[in-house]
A and B are shown apart, each in its own frame.
Chain A
Amino acid sequence: MNNVQLRQVGKVYAGGVEAVRAISIDIPDGKFCVLVGPSGCGKSTLLRMVAGLETISSGEIVIGDRRVNDLDPSERDIAMVFQNYALYPHMSVYDNMAYGLRNRRTPKAEIEERVQEAARILEIGHLLDRKPRALSGGQRQRVAMGRAIVRKPRVFLFDEPLSNLDAKLRIQMRVEIKKLQRALGITSIYVTHDQLEAMTLADILVVMNKGKVEQMGPPLTLYERPATTFVAGFIGAPPMNLVPLPEGGLPGLKLAKVPGSGRLTLGIRPEHFELTAPGTGPHALDIDVTVSAIEAVGSETFLYCAVGGNGPEIIVRVAGKSEIEAGATLRAVAEAKNLHFFDDETGVRIAD
């Protein structure tokens, strides 16, 4: 069983900065866990603690049935893919992949076999004699993955491996990483700041903020029921509209039912709006809006609207092209099941 357990893991840097605070995550064997969050949220630090590149200040990390806190990176049976690939510049592609195996005194024939197999899987067989500098970004990325694969580790660690690639290649490699991880069935932890990468790759998605876990679970659960305004604002592109509701209500915005008491933040995704002519209704949510800007991307159109003409800005998504022009006054409506309410002060979701 190659599951990974983080138990109350914490990291305090010299000088007292708490980078990671008591994080517990349980990753079952063969699952793909993605850590996502803004820069400085501690996700990379956490990954590097699993790798053994950072010491663990508190808590424990268990890989399989071994507590690895005090083990060297090489003894943890992990393989890591770095953001800038970290290929050895003076070694050929073959040597780059074989280096770790040689250091472990793997028999020569087995090294040959494993490297050839990894090269076949990643389709880099024709590059084995080249030096990294003679490779394109995408090819380097493959070699970095190959170096991880040949080791047949218990756990793959990915530290923003796609962020140095151009957009098109990134999508392609994203799909390949996913396929590869499925095919090999190796437990993986993947760090990224790109929510789209996170959504598409993860079996378990962990959203981090300020060294803590905001929410974790299957990606669609996080999308459909964000636990906090932070998650709501982080997952989805464009993110969920978050409208703080002042006491006495917002001019132009009518809610059929307000749950609980106290001050609330209303959350609604851009794609859950429907547009009708002004004056229709009532629905669970009616907002009179004035369109201030339009972004057409072809398959869909985003309308930037001001609530009540001069209130907070919200984004409304319309499928396909739209005939609506800036300055138009519309009514945006939504169903009750698509409304999210959060405590205005703590940002925590209010149970519904």
Chain B
Amino acid sequence: MVERRSILDFIPHLVLLLGIVILAFPVYVAFVASTWDAATIANGHMPLRPGPHFLENYYKLLFVGTGSSTREPVGVMMLNSLVMAMSIALGKIAISLISAFAVVYFRFPFRMAAFWTIFVTLMLPVEVRIYPTYKIVADLNLLDTYAGLTIPLIASATATLLFRQFFMTVPDELVEASRIDGAGPMKFFFDTLLPLSITSIAAMFVIQFIYGWNQYLWPLLITTRDDMQTIVIGIKKMIVTQDALTEWQLAMATAILAMLPPVLVVIVMQKLFVKGLVETEK
């Protein structure tokens, strides 16, 4: 084995390196673009090394805003996106934990009907039911609010299913031992089930945070005020202007900024995330 290692190890490494280069290069170009001034990019001869306008561009973006199209500083957009992604992720986890708990541990009439109803909503994502959902949110006067932005996206069949599958692998004896130990259903939920679900919750958080952060269509519909728009919408607005010069260095800087929070979440939660998807610790 040892003597064959050098060549056998080299090929997969080469493939991996190639993949990384292909994936990372556009990100690098975006970063480089965000450090030059508008004129350098516009003339089509942007160098492949970082330019001198890094601090200037990012400062202007975060606290002042672009000149024409979006007006609000990106700092506000990032805050909006953060509130939306966090609310959606935490809301989904909370609701799904409770509904999975109900479906797995309680025997109530129409239990399976309730479960299948939740299941069927998998086939009705926001895009499909966008008109009725918009109508409800509008009638409730929730346009341009965080509530309107997040609540319709919170109900989640995926997370409910995942937690249900996990709960079903928790041995029945644990429930019975809890009952004998004098723990009621809610005490069992908080003392035993929740600590055991930590890794699944972390995995769910990562997935749902990114899902929430990347939302485009729904925020586009529901927000009209500039101070309510999310960063994803912000990027879009920066580059569609037709009669003005697109401030590419700012658009690219926004893209880089928009990328950071999800990356941060993944890096921080990586260990728990992988554990939650791969192993079930019991």
Cβ of A103 and Cβ of B187 under 8 Å apart?
Answer: yes
Cβ of B179 and Cβ of A99 under 8 Å apart?
Answer: no
Main secondary structure, interface of B, reads helix
Q: Which residue of A lies closest to B198 (CB)?
A: A90
| A307 nearest CB across to chain B (Å) | 47
Q: Which residue of B lies closest to A79 (CB)?
A: B180
Give a binary string over A78-106; 1 marks a CB under 8 Å from any B CB, 0 the rest: 11101111111110000000011001100
Q: Is A72 an interface residue (CB 8 A)?
A: yes
Cβ of B183 and Cβ of A51 under 8 Å apart?
Answer: no
B residues within 8 A CB of A86? Answer: 171, 173-174, 176-177
Q: Which residue of B lies closest to A86 (CB)?
A: B173
Interface size on A, residues (CB 8 A): 24
Cβ of A74 and Cβ of B177 under 8 Å apart?
Answer: no
Given A82-B173, A99-B191, A103-B187, A89 and B196 contact (CB-CB distance below 8 Å) = yes
Q: Give Cα A177 to B6, complex, Å.
A: 58
| A340 nearest CB across to chain B (Å) | 40
Given A99-B191, A103-B187, A88 and B180 contact (CB-CB distance below 8 Å) = no
| One of B179, B183, B192 near A53 (C-beta < 8 A) | B179
Q: Give Cα A136 to B196, complex, Å.
A: 21
A residues within 8 A CB of B176? Answer: 51, 53, 73, 80, 82, 86
Given A86-B171, A88-B174, A103-B187, A74 and B180 contact (CB-CB distance below 8 Å) = yes
A residues within 8 A CB of B282? Answer: 89
Q: Is B9 an interface residue (CB 8 A)?
A: no
Given A89-B281, A89-B282, A103 and B181 contact (CB-CB distance below 8 Å) = yes
Q: Is B109 an interface residue (CB 8 A)?
A: no
Main secondary structure, interface of A, reads loop
Q: For chain B residues 72-111, which have a beta carbon within 8 Å of chain A? A: none
| One of A84, A85, A87, A100 near B182 (C-beta < 8 A) | A100
Q: Give Cα A103 to B192, complex, Å.
A: 13
Given A53-B176, A84-B173, A99-B191, A90 and B181 contact (CB-CB distance below 8 Å) = no
Q: Is B44 an interface residue (CB 8 A)?
A: no
| One of A52, A53, A83, A100 near B181 (C-beta < 8 A) | A100
A residues within 8 A CB of B132? Answer: none
Q: Is B195 an interface residue (CB 8 A)?
A: yes
Q: Which residue of B lies closest to A48 (CB)?
A: B176
| A170 nearest CB across to chain B (Å) | 19
Cβ of B182 and Cβ of A51 under 8 Å apart?
Answer: no
Q: Which residue of A lies closest to B281 (CB)?
A: A89
Cβ of B179 and Cβ of A74 under 8 Å apart?
Answer: yes
Interface CB pairs A-B, < 8 A, 18: A51-B176, A53-B179, A74-B180, A74-B182, A74-B183, A82-B173, A82-B177, A84-B171, A86-B177, A88-B192, A89-B281, A89-B282, A90-B192, A100-B181, A103-B182, A103-B183, A103-B187, A147-B177
Residues in chain B within 8 A of chain A (CB atoms): 171, 173-174, 176-177, 179-183, 187, 191-192, 195-196, 281-282
Residues in chain A within 8 A of chain B (CB atoms): 51-53, 72-74, 78-80, 82-90, 99-100, 103-104, 133, 147
